[in-house]
């Protein structure tokens, strides 16, 4: 059983499966069947107890029985979904707070910030920051398409930083999985020691170096216009928190994203429903997700068909009734 994504260890998954298949087995028989020691089985039973996947047997006092997957795993998924929703809400609040903070300070930063106008200036500063990095480089790169020349501009400095032992963590939009240029670059970065994750929705474009300096776009709607080089500790700390929250709900690049078994929705479809529910147009929701309006329409047609809805309004009502929103 592939239950590691729900926070269960592989050994506990084996014991859980054995309990389902062999409900009368005690610790010794479970250990022999799972090729584990008695102590390992006891540890796994403790873990399954914390996950509420085992209960005391009414029929065999002193023994534990497995909670049926229809109940136990469904409850685990519900808890994971609730935690994810809470983290997404926290991320949205942090994104808004950071945007306000940066905007409030952008006009008057004589010693703690500098405006860089145009891509040449941005790339030059990124190269300098990459050369000076000693611990880590964090990056958020929204958008579904990545320009090959922009990616190549950072390849050499990223390779050199990784060779010096600098950690590199990069966040890309889920939709970039369909972009061969971005996918090739992500595979290269992972192959040389970097980490790459993807998520349906990301904060604004962002680069943080050694948790002491950051680059944010002057105009989030057109990031090629220029960037603000921020060094003020309070702002940088807020940007680091924003990155870590986004990183915590993203998945490793290349990981297979399965549909939610309870709803049949992918992460992108669930986020699309949420965005459209806030009043965004197809174009606005597509921009946030890094997909085209046509793709938004295709997703919504699929969702409406699954809901048996003849209109988006009806789909919204049915989705809310089913707890999809």
152-193 tens-digit pLDDT: 767 777 888 888 888 889 888 777 777 778 788 888 888 888
- Which residues neighbour 216 within 8 Å (Cβ) at sequence distance 6 or greater? 102, 204, 205, 206, 227, 228, 230, 239
95 lies in the same domain as 34:
no
pLDDT of residue 146: 64
182 lies in the same domain as 287:
no
SS3 state of residue 311: coil
CA atoms of 270 and 272, how far apart (whole Å): 5
- Which residues neighbour 33 within 8 Å (Cβ) at sequence distance 6 or greater? 18, 22, 25
The count of domains in the chain is 3
Host domain of residue 206: 76-252
Asked if the structure places residue 13 within a domain, the reply is yes
CA atoms within 13 A on the CB side of 90: 16
Is residue 314 scored above 80 in pLDDT? no
42 lies in the same domain as 170:
no
Asked if the structure places residue 205 within a domain, the reply is yes
147 lies in the same domain as 223:
yes
Tokens of 90: 């926290």
> What share of the chain in percent tops pLDDT 90?
2
Tokens of 294: 């046509």
Asked if the structure places residue 61 within a domain, the reply is yes
Last residue of a domain, one of 49, 67, 85: 67
Which of residues 15 and 149 earns the better pLDDT score? 15
Angle between helix axes 180-191 and 148-163 (nearest 10 degrees) is 10
* Tens digit of each residue's pLDDT (9 = 90 or more) over 1-55: 445 556 678 888 888 888 888 877 788 888 888 888 888 888 888 887 787 777 7
201 lies in the same domain as 89:
yes
At 102, which helix (H) or strand (E)? helix 69-106
236 lies in the same domain as 275:
no
Question: How many other CB atoms sit within 10 Å of the CB of residue 262?
Answer: 14
227 lies in the same domain as 162:
yes
105 lies in the same domain as 212:
yes
10 lies in the same domain as 121:
no
Q: How confident is the model at residue 138 (pLDDT cuts 50, 70, 90)?
A: very high
Is residue 108 scored above 60 in pLDDT? no
Looking up residue 157, the CATH number of its domain turns out to be 3.30.870.10
pLDDT of residue 6: 61
CA atoms of 166 and 259, how far apart (whole Å): 35
CA atoms of 40 and 48, how far apart (whole Å): 12
94 lies in the same domain as 200:
yes
Q: How confident is the model at residue 279 (pLDDT cuts 50, 70, 90)?
A: low
Is residue 309 scored above 80 in pLDDT? no
Tokens of 36: 């584990």
User: Are 59 and 52 spatial neighbours (Cβ–Cβ below 8 Å)?
Assistant: no
197 lies in the same domain as 123:
yes
Asked if the structure places residue 258 within a domain, the reply is no
Is residue 56 scored above 80 in pLDDT? no
Looking up residue 296, the CATH number of its domain turns out to be 1.10.10.10
Last residue of a domain, one of 27, 49, 67: 67
SS3 state of residue 23: coil
154 lies in the same domain as 209:
yes
Dump strand ranges (E) for the chain.
54-56, 64-66, 113-117, 136-141, 167-173, 195-199, 206-209, 213-217, 226-230, 251-252
Last residue of a domain, one of 15, 49, 67: 67
């Amino acid at each position: 059983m592939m239950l590691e994504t729900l926070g269960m260890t592989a050994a506990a998954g084996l014991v859980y499966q054995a309990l389902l298949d062999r409900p009368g087995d005690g610790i010794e028989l479970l250990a022999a069947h799972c090729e584990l020691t008695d102590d390992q089985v006891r540890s796994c039973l403790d873990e399954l107890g914390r996950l509420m996947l085992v209960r005391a047997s009414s029929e065999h006092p002193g023994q534990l029985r497995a909670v049926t997957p229809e109940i136990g795993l469904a409850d685990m998924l519900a808890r994971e979904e609730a935690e994810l929703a809470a983290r997404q809400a926290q991320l949205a609040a942090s994104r808004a707070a950071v945007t306000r903070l940066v905007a409030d300070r952008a006009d008057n930063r004589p010693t703690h910030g500098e405006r860089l106008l145009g891509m040449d200036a941005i790339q030059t500063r990124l190269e300098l920051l990459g050369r000076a990095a000693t611990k880590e480089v964090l990056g958020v790169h929204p958008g579904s398409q990545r320009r090959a020349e922009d990616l190549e501009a950072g390849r050499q400095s990223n390779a050199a930083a990784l060779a010096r032992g600098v950690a590199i963590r990069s966040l890309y939009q889920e939709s970039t999985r369909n972009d061969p240029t971005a996918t090739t670059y992500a595979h290269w970065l992972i192959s040389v020691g970097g980490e790459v994750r993807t998520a349906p929705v990301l904060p604004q474009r962002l680069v943080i170096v050694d948790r002491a300096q950051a680059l944010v776009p002057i105009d989030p709607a057109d990031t090629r216009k220029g960037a603000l080089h921020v060094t003020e500790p309070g702002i940088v700390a807020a940007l680091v928190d924003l990155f870590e929250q986004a990183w915590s709900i993203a998945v490793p690049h290349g990981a297979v994203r399965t549909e939610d078994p309870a709803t049949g929705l992918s992460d992108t479809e669930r986020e699309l429903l949420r965005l459209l529910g806030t009043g965004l147009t197809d174009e606005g929701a597509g921009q946030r997700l890094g997909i085209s309006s046509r793709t938004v329409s295709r997703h919504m047609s699929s969702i409406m068909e699954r809901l048996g809805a003849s209109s988006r309004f009806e789909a919204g009502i049915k989705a809310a009734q089913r707890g999809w929103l």
